[in-house]
Amino acid sequence: GLIHHSDRGSQYASKDFRRLLKAYGFKGSMSRKGNCWDNAVAESFFGSLKQERVQWRHYQTRYEAQQDVLDYISMFYNSRRLHSYLDYMNPNEYEQKLLGMKKSSLTGLYQYG
């Protein structure tokens, strides 16, 4: 199932939020106290999202904001934005590279003769 990882904010520790996670079949996960590195990937993503997309925009509705964030993720962040951590590939390219590596290593196991 899906894991929702967060910092130790009171909104994430609340009974209501934990109940909501459970209702949707999600597992809650929290950073260790005082360790910002536990959530570094998520912090980096949200920093990029704020700086590159939503910081100066004013949305009329929640739906408009949701669609804009989804567009940013699918049309830019995952498909065009280069990530130094991924050898300057975008996440889609990196995923394809990994899948190709897995496929070729698996086919190597099943070659006969």
pLDDT digits (tens, 9 = 90+) for 43-59: 889 999 999 999 999 99
Q: Are residues 28 and 68 in the same domain?
A: yes
Q: What is the pTM of this model?
A: 0.62
What are the residues whose beta carbons fall under 8 Å from the beta carbon of 31, sequence distance 6 or more? 5, 6, 7, 8, 38, 39
pLDDT tens for 71-87 read 999 999 999 999 998 99
Q: Are residues 74 and 86 in the same domain?
A: no
Looking at the structure of the chain, the number of domains it has is 2
Q: Are residues 33 and 43 in the same domain?
A: yes
Q: Are residues 70 and 50 in the same domain?
A: yes
Q: How far apart, in whole angstroms, are the C-alpha atoms of residue 81 and residue 52?
A: 11
Q: Are residues 69 and 18 in the same domain?
A: yes
Domain, as residue range, for 99? 82-113
Asked if residue 26 lies in contact with residue 1, where contact means CB atoms within 8 angstroms, the answer is yes
